[in-house]
Chains A and B, each alone.
Chain A
């Protein structure tokens, strides 16, 4: 970082500025980068700080693809030694399991994952004790906080510097009459710092009676507080083995209006980045949205 500053400084300003910038980078305060949990390289573009800000609450919403997105967001931190606890994924009488195999494909280090099954009335105490020691806690749809619970929890999370990710109620439960479509947005986690909303999810590889599921493209809207207050829309691609491939920023203005199903995701004036066919590890790469509609 300091080297980069020197190189940059030589071109523009004098030596004092260089020194100042070096001092800036070497002084013993915690930089925002240090207060972040790393995410996978492919997802760094989603965060202005380059990672998940410690002490924040992340809410994931929208339709199909939430669990995959949550796992992809966790993966980077588990690889660098952080532990993750998952809670609230149990099915009535059983265990709504996160597909651990899929999680591993996305890059989650399963050696650093523990799943907690917890009765609904005790979840607050349990989550509160988990955020004390785990860097990441993923709350599933069975966890339903009240506003007061959340306030208390948020204080503790901020104090401890952990990250709480939540998949709100009304999506995960099969008891809901639909398949994973948002039934009630009001039951989310009010006041979360970052919100991810899945707007589109497209699959490739499946025909009528032939093929098998292959690549997937998610379109995710990200907004939040502070540096993230502007809503941005990303496209995230997964390859046919369920691995994260890349993410591209789309223009944020065109979220609701301009996108028409059946048209390629190319926006006026700014072509969407279609991943290079050569880097696709032998698989069919980018999602051809023409075929999808």
Chain B
């Protein structure tokens, strides 16, 4: 362990000089983690349990919901069974980012140039600021205080003051991980007396200089993939953790004890950066001199953009340009500064980090979040006057691109890139919502199982895949090839031309004989099955739905007697509707 006093460190000037490589070169970093940011960003009061869902899994829950036993990762059904009055909200990254922007504005008053890894997590090199505030602890306390104030100011009721962690340690990645640890354990620590853990007040942890490795050593290796999404491709990190576990390296201390050269030889650059993190020896990975001048791209907007869409579209084009320039030199960008200038000369900038090397889509998405936060939120109107007149992207950290494995024939990625270009052209023509991609969500009704999401709101490779866990009450396969999102009413009659219904016991009143869409042309029912009744949300008088579904095979005797068309019909509050077609 280093010196007990975190304030007294070796000559700070030596550390500021990033060109000197060595263990003294670690970046002292303050990390912030708002563990349940999506729940806070949902804007719902902390006095109701809130769970934020993505693809039917809880991704975030506020402290009330967690105290009711809802855990991140559980299914919607599980969450509702543990806490029936839970307020369920769909996850929206843009909403998270927009909300986080308001916190960032407040934090800038404490220290400049925060880098954001994802909404809810950010970091800043703490050396200068902690000198200004008189040490690490005063700085961390000031930061935490400012966050809590900003949360109360901006979210009022929704501000869930639990689960905010601030940590000052060696290295940005370690800061993210330790801050997360602090945020998650805040509840337990708050009940302990402060004396028990002198460096640890509520939600704040300052490790002494070069004490990071010691702190990380007992933690499980799986923490490599913690600390948010910005530290490399999630799947690759998970693979790395898996290998380490199988090699018997159960905690970070044992991983850190390996020789750096061996780690690099066995696990490549990804393993190397994880190893640096475990040793508490992350140094500045900047490899080039003054890169910002070489690579930065910018563009004027004339007339200035008042709406986010136009500015974001410009950012996308710039991102493409930047990406092309960098990749032609075999470089990739891990940290980027997005700068927007308004017509009255205001300048608003934000630093974004993504170790998975920022793709053009990722850059554009971050620019959009940032602009969204500025242009849409009420608070920033007072700060920015007029529209955005200039956007610049300045790569702040550039590393050699370790390359991507192309598809076996070198084609699949290229195809994808071409497709993306065409889609952004289409979006320019028709608007942002014109292009959607499928994302698995799961559900009972055929229309609920895959949902369309706008192209830009998802990272295409990171989409949630389909899982074939059973959905009670769903229909057996085959799945219908056409799903009518706005069901069309149909008429279903029995042999005596009476309307067919379903009684309270779930029995059909008569066998359906013919079906028509318009009441003039009738199709004969060749065979049918059902009814399958579902009763959804019976506890909620407003959302309660009672439905009975039948499958029918229809023949049009006049037109095409050989063609049997199968459909799924649903009866709800006395009306039959065409829900899906097995076309």
Contacts and interface: CB of A to CB of B under 8 A. Distances in A.
Nearest to B518: A177
Contact of B551 (A68, A94, A98, A206): A206
A208 B528 contact: yes
Given A81-B415, A177-B517, A200-B562, A209 B437 contact: no
A39 interface: no
Nearest to A71: B481
A214 B411 CA distance: 37
Contacts of A112: 415-416, 419
Contacts of B476: 212
A96 B481 contact: no
A178 B452 contact: no
Contacts of B479: 99, 101-102, 105, 242
B517 A83 contact: no
Contacts of A174: 484, 488, 517, 578
A212 B523 contact: no
A113 B508 CA distance: 40
Given A97-B447, A242-B478, A178 B419 contact: no
A132 B563 contact: no
A66 B562 CA distance: 14
Given A71-B481, A83-B415, A101 B430 contact: no
Interface in A48-79: 62-68, 71
Given A81-B415, A103-B481, A178 B425 contact: no
Interface in B437-460: 437-438, 446-447, 449-450, 452, 455, 460
Contact of A181 (B418, B422, B425, B556): B556
B379 interface: no
Interface string B392-435: 00000000000000010101100110110111011001100111
A6 interface: no
Nearest to A91: B486
A158 to B, nearest CB: 18
A113 B485 contact: no
B16 interface: no
Classify chain B: how many residues form its interface, as a range. 35 or more
Nearest to A167: B583
A214 B564 CA distance: 13
Contact of B521 (A115, A135, A178): A178
Nearest to A137: B422
Contacts of B430: 116-119, 122, 126
Interface of B: 407, 409, 411-412, 415-416, 418-419, 421-423, 425-426, 429-430, 433-438, 446-447, 449-450, 452, 455, 460-461, 463, 466, 475-486, 488, 508, 511, 515, 517-518, 520-521, 523, 527-530, 551-554, 556, 559-567, 578, 580-583
Interface of A: 62-68, 71, 80-83, 85, 91, 93-105, 110-119, 122, 125-126, 129-130, 132-135, 172, 174, 177-182, 198-203, 206-214, 216, 219, 238, 240-242, 259, 261, 292
Question: Would you list the 7 A-B pairs with minimal beta carbon distance, nearest first?
Answer: A242-B478, A81-B412, A133-B422, A63-B563, A64-B565, A83-B419, A100-B450
28 contacts: A63-B559, A67-B482, A68-B583, A81-B416, A96-B484, A99-B481, A99-B483, A103-B481, A114-B419, A114-B455, A117-B434, A117-B436, A129-B429, A130-B426, A174-B484, A177-B518, A179-B565, A179-B581, A180-B581, A181-B565, A201-B565, A206-B552, A207-B527, A208-B527, A211-B529, A238-B478, A240-B477, A261-B562
